[in-house]
Structure 1
Amino acid sequence: MNTVIAFIIIFGTLVFFHELGHLIMAQRAGILCREFAIGFGPKIFSFKRKETVYTIRLLPIGGFVKMAGEDPEVIEIKPGHTVGLLFNEQNEVEKIILNDKEKYPDALVIEVEQIDLDHAMRISGYEAGNEDILTGYNVSQTSFYIADGEEIQIAPYNRQFGSKTVWQRIKAIAAGPIMNFILAYVILVALGFIQGVTVDDPVLGKLTKDGRAAEAGLMQGDHIVSINGEKMNSWTDVVQTVQKNPEKKMNVVIDRDGKESTVQVVPEAVKADGKSIGRFGSYPPTENGFLKVISSSGTTVISTAGLILTNLQKIVTGQFSLDMLAGPVGIYDMTGEVAKQGVLTLMQFAAFLSINLGIVNLLPIPALDGGRLLFLFVEAIRGKPINREKEALVVFIGVAFLMLLMLVVTWNDIQRLFL
């Protein structure tokens, strides 16, 4: 149960901030955002604030922001349809009733002759009993359809995604992955202030209770001067020397409060990558300085992103292994293992996943944010958008590829768990 809760909280948080980035920049551009959703499938909770419906859906495996104009409008009114009209104080059409018109006795019922709800925002038609008189009405910029008792805001062209400049659309799409990098950075900064950031000094950090260093009398804060006569200039030097001496006696010269002394330590032998290495039970030294935390957190985001990109490069160049990939099942299993190590380790794992989510979404694959950005950059260079039918075909192929990859990765995750 703890794993389920941890997975939902972490994955939900990453998706929330990713979609929040899209929502904020889309709204700033003036795009009508109909829905902000966490998860897919049936709605289990929803509320509306201003123009946007916020929903939580059953399957916690992603999310979306439904922007007007990205998909064909779900409602289309054609000449010959009969609709009801409700007006505001400016005598503009405020609501267009599609069915159940008997529930709105004050509505003016007309048979539509002409309608333009993109640019002109005008509807004209014939009233019952006045079939020979064609009357036109202005439609409010903030008008609604009413269908089956549900209100759906009408999106004039100037509120649709496609009406915005290329730069505005790029910002709305790129904001999702960028928000993931920002979230990872904030998490790492918080961790830095809580537990400090690692520094590469030859100084002992926190010691494990039953570790060989504590048993030998070493203490947190001891400065390692030399090991077996070899000068230690960094924590990296200390780690490498200890790893080379499993179950071997080492003469460790330390500086404690300005006084040097020699302590004998026998590193414990542990297995790593099929071979035995030494470990004496000490964490690296840490600092809590404000500037150190701020700069180190940024460096960690960059280095982690570089490591992920290196692994992706191996996949592209054929140095491929399914074990390098993990789907929802694999991430769920990893979350359970990490959760056992405490909240701070779980936060660090969340930061890594957030960086990973940001990078993966920027890959130039159709159906991902990176693929959409690629189309927008091509449009910016050409000076005109790509043919919608061609774009839709490429996106369909991209979605099919991602679904196939997800199935393969998920099956591999299941095999690792149960076979």
Structure 2
Amino acid sequence: MFLDFISQSLPLGATEETGFVSALLTQILLWGQVALGIGLVIFVHELGHFLAAKTFGVKCEKFYVGFDVPIKIGPIKFPRTLGKFQYGETEYGIGILPFGGYVKMLGQDDDPRKAEQEAKRIRSGGEAGDGEEEVERLDPRSYPAKPVWQRMIIISAGVVMNLVTGVLFAAIAFGYGVSYNPAIIGGVSPGGPAWRAGIEPGGQVISVGELSDDQMHFREMRVAIVSEGLEYPDKPIDVAIRYDDGIRQYKLKTDPHPVDSDLRMIGITNPTSLKLSSETPALPGSVADGVLSEADGGASIIAYDGNEVRPNSIVPSTPFFDYLYSHPDKTISLTLERADNTTHTVELPPQQAKSIGFRYAISPITALVEEGAAAKAGIQVGDVIVAVNGNTDIDAYGLPLMLFASEGPVSLQLRRGQGEQSRTIDVELTAESSPQTLSTTSGIDGQIAINRFGFSYSPRATVATVMPNLLSKGSGSSDTELEPGDEIKEVRLILSDAELPKPLKDDRFAPILEQLREGWKADGPMPLGALVETIQLLPEGTPLRVFATRSPRGRVIESVATVQQDDRVWPERGLALTAVEATQTADSFASALSLGFREGKRRLADVFRFLQMIPKGRVKMRHVGGPLEIVNMAKNQAERGISPQLLFLTMLSMNLAILNFLPIPALDGGHMVFLIAEAIRGKKLDEQLEMRLTMAGVLTILLLMVVVFANDIMRRL
């Protein structure tokens, strides 16, 4: 989370002019690559129709990628095409509207307004037999003149081409080598299903539901979990995880995702490697930034406090992160191996926390690890921690530090129950072995947990204690002084751009500043933990306006607080470590085809599952992407390289194949329905009925296009 904004920054060129020209050329090439990729998928679809039609002697009058429709806005008339040429009897071109393509065959037109005219164009009067009506003849090179089985092949050829080329795209990608994040458990989110089940970091997921793969990609695992969770939210998912000591089986029921409750999750995070980012080895302003230099970019941690990293384990970084987060107040000696194979040692001190003058209260216990230390001690969900080893001065972010500092069993005093039914109980808690590979503050929904003690809780937006000399009290009025028990409702940055301290004028802080100017709100989507983490990034002295309410009357308290250095440590120290990546490369042509076929099959399954969930109400509009979202995804994948783009084209090909074969008139699937009906009846459907159904299909498609376009636009507002 800390480094998201850093990755958005771009290196500057030698001069502004050369930097602009270089960036412009890069963007032109990138968008050209995107257009070529999407255009290729459309082209091969139409090529399938074209080749099949030519094989059976059908005259093809036009072959277009994009639609050559007339567009006029006021007095401005746009050209119908971006380019066209005639070769033989066929006109080839690129239409002005890049949302598909078509092959215009003699006697066939998807525009219902032209269907009757097209039907007349291919008819000619025939000879009459003795006492018989005149037999109408069709142009032998027209599409309707061909037998039903030939027309079925022509209509389905586009889909077949997309299926075949989708597999080939993926095969080529695996031939180049596909970089991916392996489905390895880097950490488990506090309070989540995986955390409650006692799943430990350091294992490799090898099966999820019906998906089984020894080299499973993290993305594949996540898609399987989300799909299973959406389709069967109350059904546990079978998960198999391989550890260094063997395979463990779990049944996990998914939870709603805290950011989007319509999605589902089990709370597994992908692992971080021990390799420092080559561009930014440390977060600016952190303790790591003070001890690492540019020469350490791309270096790897090979030892810490005399403990050597075991590179052959499934997740070599697990012991390091456990050590780092379990010793937040200890200076750690790091041995680094640089890119030039030289080694040196740095001393990484603790990171001082920052605060805006008050501590946050602690919620009741929200979750327990099954068979964990807390559960064995008799602690229950809903219990409120009153004291730790007799100390009643506890708060949400101070509790983990108290527990890490404790040696031996910990005495907890808890309050159980509400009102007159409440009672105080004492328990003794003995820590168990459970790696702490994520910061105690890293829960996606703000929950905090110390894995070895087996319980989680949330920080509350309630003032637990006010810290002396840190909170700015403004005029000194009681209406500007925060007190224990006040409920924090909003925190907002009050500085204008001109008033920003110099460190904050760095463009990399723009997303944070925009978020804080809008204001963190207690009832908003961003958890309290995200606000506290954001404060760690702000320079000392940054003023924030705090709004709170005070019981019992709910009086609004407005105060100005400044970011100050705290007397506590913060678990994160600013190391900019990269994600774990692996590369899957086919070792032969047969292997590439096999992997390509597997990829195509999975993407087809994704489309079918998605379509099945729509009538069940499991899919919301915000989960649906239209043309703008497709182009955005294509751009993102093209930026990553040729293999990601090819895999995206596989996904797009499979989507186009299935969606285009849905039984909607005007789509290939609708034409196939008409042909099946003709084969069963032994004669064509009534032309007027077919025309009306086609018109209804066109209107349906146009309506869907308007909806998805509007959805794409709203997504970006």
- With the length of structure 1 as denominator, give the TM-score of the two structures: 0.65
Are 2:30 and 1:9 equivalent residues in the alignment? no
Specify which of 292, 302, 306 is matched with residue 605 of structure 2.
306
The match for 2:52 is: 25
Q: Identify unmatched segments of 5+ residues in structure 1.
A: 79-115, 122-154, 203-212, 214-225, 235-239
How many angstroms apart in 1 are the aligned matches of 2:639 and 2:179? Answer: 22
The match for 1:66 is: 104
Letter of the structure 2 residue corresponding to residue 297 of structure 1: G
Cα gap change, 1:11 to 1:380, in 2 (>3 Å): same
CA contact (8 A) 1:198 1:287 kept: no
Give 1:26 deviation, angstroms. 0.6
Residues 194-227 of structure 1 deviation map (CA, whole Å, 9 limit, x = unaligned) = 116989999xxxxxxxxxx9xxxxxxxxxxxx85
CA contact (8 A) 1:330 1:410 kept: no
Cα gap change, 1:408 to 1:199, in 2 (>3 Å): closer
Letter of the structure 2 residue corresponding to residue 9 of structure 1: L
The match for 2:667 is: 368
Structure 2 counterparts to residues 172-321 of structure 1, below 5 A: 172-195=154-177, 230-231=245-246, 243=269, 255=312, 264-266=319-321, 267=437, 281-284=579-582, 286-290=584-588, 291-321=590-620
Aligned length: 318
Letter of the structure 1 residue corresponding to residue 104 of structure 2: K
How many angstroms apart in 2 are the aligned matches of 1:374 and 1:305? Answer: 21
Q: Secondary structure at the match of 2:614?
A: helix
Q: Secondary structure at the match of 1:340?
A: helix
CA contact (8 A) 2:124 2:139 kept: yes
Residues 370-396 of structure 1 deviation map (CA, whole Å, 9 limit, x = unaligned) = 111111111111211111110111111
Cα gap change, 1:293 to 1:343, in 2 (>3 Å): closer
CA contact (8 A) 1:252 1:263 kept: no
CA contact (8 A) 2:62 2:104 kept: yes
Alignment RMSD (CA, Å): 4.3
How many angstroms apart in 2 are the aligned matches of 1:300 and 1:76? Answer: 43
Q: Secondary structure at the match of 1:318?
A: coil
The match for 1:55 is: 93
Give 1:298 deviation, angstroms. 0.6
Cα gap change, 1:280 to 1:391, in 2 (>3 Å): same
Cα gap change, 1:351 to 1:37, in 2 (>3 Å): same
Name the stretch that deviates more: 377-386 or 284-293: 284-293
Structure 2 counterparts to residues 108-187 of structure 1, below 5 A: 118=124, 157-187=139-169
Q: Secondary structure at the match of 2:99?
A: strand
Q: Identify unmatched segments of 5+ residues in structure 2.
A: 1-26, 69-79, 110-114, 128-136, 185-201, 203-241, 250-265, 274-303, 322-436, 450-576
CA contact (8 A) 1:196 1:288 kept: no
Q: Secondary structure at the match of 2:684?
A: coil
How many angstroms apart in 2 are the aligned matches of 1:410 and 1:298? Answer: 32
How many angstroms apart in 2 are the aligned matches of 1:378 and 1:13? Answer: 33
Letter of the structure 2 residue corresponding to residue 46 of structure 1: K
Give 1:402 deviation, angstroms. 1.1
How many angstroms apart in 2 are the aligned matches of 1:328 and 1:313? Answer: 22
CA contact (8 A) 1:33 1:68 kept: yes
The match for 2:423 is: none
Residues 147-168 of structure 1 deviation map (CA, whole Å, 9 limit, x = unaligned) = xxxxxxxx96111111111110
Structure 2 counterparts to residues 388-407 of structure 1, below 5 A: 388-407=687-706
Cα gap change, 1:274 to 1:160, in 2 (>3 Å): farther
CA contact (8 A) 2:46 2:102 kept: yes
How many angstroms apart in 2 are the aligned matches of 1:262 and 1:346? Answer: 30
How many angstroms apart in 2 are the aligned matches of 1:413 and 1:201? Answer: 30
Give 1:314 deviation, angstroms. 0.9
Cα gap change, 1:338 to 1:244, in 2 (>3 Å): closer
The match for 2:712 is: 413
Give 1:280 deviation, angstroms. 7.6
Cα gap change, 1:61 to 1:245, in 2 (>3 Å): closer
Letter of the structure 2 residue corresponding to residue 70 of structure 1: Q
The match for 1:112 is: none
% identity of equivalent residues: 28
Letter of the structure 1 residue corresponding to residue 59 of structure 2: L
CA contact (8 A) 1:367 1:399 kept: yes
Larger Cα-atom Rg: 2
Give 1:37 deviation, angstroms. 0.9
Give 1:339 deviation, angstroms. 2.8
Give 1:175 deviation, angstroms. 0.5
- With the length of structure 2 as denominator, give the TM-score of the two structures: 0.39
CA contact (8 A) 1:189 1:297 kept: yes
Give 1:192 deviation, angstroms. 1.2
How many angstroms apart in 2 are the aligned matches of 1:284 and 1:360? Answer: 33
Specify which of 329, 344, 347 is matched with residue 643 of structure 2.
344
How many angstroms apart in 1 are the aligned matches of 2:646 and 2:687? Answer: 42
Letter of the structure 1 residue corresponding to residue 633 of structure 2: M
How many angstroms apart in 2 are the aligned matches of 1:23 and 1:298? Answer: 25
The match for 1:40 is: 67
The match for 2:656 is: 357
Give 1:255 deviation, angstroms. 4.9
Specify which of 627, 640, 655 is matched with residue 328 of structure 1.
627
Letter of the structure 2 residue corresponding to residue 303 of structure 1: R
Give 1:335 deviation, angstroms. 2.3
Cα gap change, 1:309 to 1:262, in 2 (>3 Å): closer
How many angstroms apart in 2 are the aligned matches of 1:165 and 1:284? Answer: 52
Cα gap change, 1:409 to 1:252, in 2 (>3 Å): same
Letter of the structure 1 residue corresponding to residue 105 of structure 2: M
Give 1:191 deviation, angstroms. 0.9
How many angstroms apart in 1 are the aligned matches of 2:583 and 2:605? Answer: 24
How many angstroms apart in 2 are the aligned matches of 1:401 and 1:413? Answer: 18
How many angstroms apart in 2 are the aligned matches of 1:263 and 1:167? Answer: 61
